[in-house]
Amino acid sequence: MNVLDKGINALFMDPEPDNARQFFAKKSRAMTDKRMNEKDAVERFIPDGCYLAIGGFGANRIATAVIHEILRARRKNLGFFGHTSTHDFQLLCAGQCIDRVDIAYIIGLEARGLSPNARRVMESGEVQVCEWTNYALAARLKAAAEGVSFAIVRCMLGTDTFKMSAARVIECPFTGKKYAAVPAVWPDVAIIHVHHADIYGNCQIRGISIADLELARAAKHVIITAERLIDNTAIRMRPTQTVIPFYLVDAVIEVPFGSYPGNMPYLYYSDEDHLAQWLTVEKDPQEFKKFLDHYIYGVSSFEQYLERCGGLAKLKQLQKLETLVDS
């Protein structure tokens, strides 16, 4: 294969599909009860040094409970898949959990501004980086989900984003057209928050799916947090709505309000006050440490975190702010 140009950064993960197949050959297809708590899920599926991806879109439909548990378990040297990662990335930076990151969008919280601490971490040089775009990263997951070692995209070409990536320029064997070939990525583990799941891991998502369907298929292990567990019969009555089938899933955790302080479509809007507080408190390392102790390290469960954030009164208020509700 003629490679016309290549990005100079190092690839964090093996793009060899036959190695991934070897893993999936052994993964159980049994439809067993996969319920467990966040602690056990992190203990079993997120060891130090593994490569992690988080579903949703920054502060929308994110699996906050498991991320908090990663911090409490003091995980270190994680690799991270950073496609529009906002509050999730901010959390992992707060916990000093990561040492390498594939970047499309980090540090920022979109219209809310930039995270001072995440920025500090990324400017420190402590974290190894590789640049991509949101679509390039989605395409890398898609390639893995399709069981092949690369995908071709028409973005990145001609830019420094390409130069600082690990992509390669190839030509179409039919048209001679140039493409950026992006390598498949099979994350070691993905955490995805969904609306409904049964105890086996069959999942339904309402609204946009972002890159989560590709992610669930690419990841070697999948941890699901769900707003609500539903019966398998309910899944089987609406098979068109199943977007993640059970055999991809390793752990199922019921976490109502699990995307808090992020938005969960049809259920509750993001807590902008809490997210703004993060951006303020991060400016002062002393204050920030206290803040993290109070909200994350000093609590033993996600429920307790929700209590400290304002409990039911706050959650009811966020439900009211969600304009997207059922007809």
Partner 1 sequence: MTREYNKVEMMICASSRYLEDGKTVAVGTGAPCATAMLAQKTASPNLVILFEAGGLAPALPQMPISVGDSRTFFRGIMAAGMVEMMTTCCRGLVDYAFLGGAQIDKYGNINSTVIGNYKKPKVRFPGSGGANDFASFCWRTLIMTVHSKSRFVEKVDFVTTAGFLTGPGAREEAGLPLGTGPYKIITDLAVLGFDEKTKTMLIESVHPGVEVATVKQETGFELIVPDFIRKTPPPTDTELRILRGEVDPLRLIIGRS
Question: Which of 297, 323, 322 lies closest to 308 in space, CA to CA?
Answer: 297
User: Pick from 57, 89, 132, 150: which binds a second copy (CB under 8 A)?
Assistant: 150
For 238, phi then psi, to 5°, come to -135, 60
Partner residues linked to 81 by β-bridges: 53, 102
Under 8 Å between Cβ of 99 and 77: yes
User: Pick from 16, 33, 43, 110: which binds a second copy (CB under 8 A)?
Assistant: 16
The yes or no reply on residue 173 touching a second copy (CB under 8 A) is yes
The yes or no reply on residue 158 touching a second copy (CB under 8 A) is no
User: Pick from 11, 73, 164, 299: which binds a second copy (CB under 8 A)?
Assistant: 11
The yes or no reply on residue 240 touching partner 1 (CB under 8 A) is yes
The yes or no reply on residue 15 touching a second copy (CB under 8 A) is yes
Strand segments, DSSP code E, in 257-297 are none
Angle between helices 64-72 and 87-94 (to 10 degrees): 10
Q: Which partner from the list partner 1, a second copy, none does 227 bind, CB cut-off 5 to 8 Å by kind?
A: none
Give the distance between the most distant pair of CA atoms in the chain.
Answer: 61
- What is the distance between the alpha carbons of residues 92 and 56, in angstroms, rounded to a whole number? 15
CA angle at residue 19 from 131 to 13, to 5 degrees? Answer: 20
Quick note: the x/- pattern for partner 1 over 305-324, rule CB under 8 A, is -----------------xxx
Under 8 Å between Cβ of 169 and 2: no
What number of other Cβ atoms are within 10 A of residue 154's Cβ?
10
- What is the distance between the alpha carbons of residues 268 and 85, in angstroms, rounded to a whole number? 20
- What is the distance between the alpha carbons of residues 211 and 243, in angstroms, rounded to a whole number? 12
User: Pick from 17, 79, 183, 187: which binds partner 1 (CB under 8 A)?
Assistant: 17
Cα–Cα distances in angstroms (integers) from residue 82 to residues 79, 85, 104, 206, in the given order: 9, 5, 6, 23
Site for partner 1 in 21-50 (CB under 8 A): 21-25, 27-31
The yes or no reply on residue 322 touching a second copy (CB under 8 A) is no
User: Pick from 14, 33, 40, 160: which binds partner 1 (CB under 8 A)?
Assistant: 160
Between residues 146 and 272, which has the closer beta carbon with respect to a second copy? Answer: 146
Q: Which partner from the list partner 1, a second copy, none does 168 bind, CB cut-off 5 to 8 Å by kind?
A: a second copy
Which residues, at least 6 apart from 60, have a Cβ–Cβ distance to it below 8 Å? 210, 259, 262, 263, 264, 265, 270
User: Pick from 37, 96, 134, 149: which binds a second copy (CB under 8 A)?
Assistant: 149
Interface size with a second copy, residues (CB under 8 A): 34
Minimal distance, residue 37 CB to a second copy, in Å: 29
Quick note: the x/- pattern for a second copy over 80-119, rule CB under 8 A, is ----------------------------------------
Question: Which of 140, 157, 60 lies closest to 103 in space, CA to CA?
Answer: 140
Between residues 55 and 116, which has the closer beta carbon with respect to a second copy? Answer: 55
Minimal distance, residue 44 CB to a second copy, in Å: 30
Quick note: the x/- pattern for partner 1 over 199-238, rule CB under 8 A, is ---x---xxxxxxxxx--x-----------------xxx-
Site for partner 1 in 63-92 (CB under 8 A): 82, 84, 86
The yes or no reply on residue 25 touching a second copy (CB under 8 A) is no
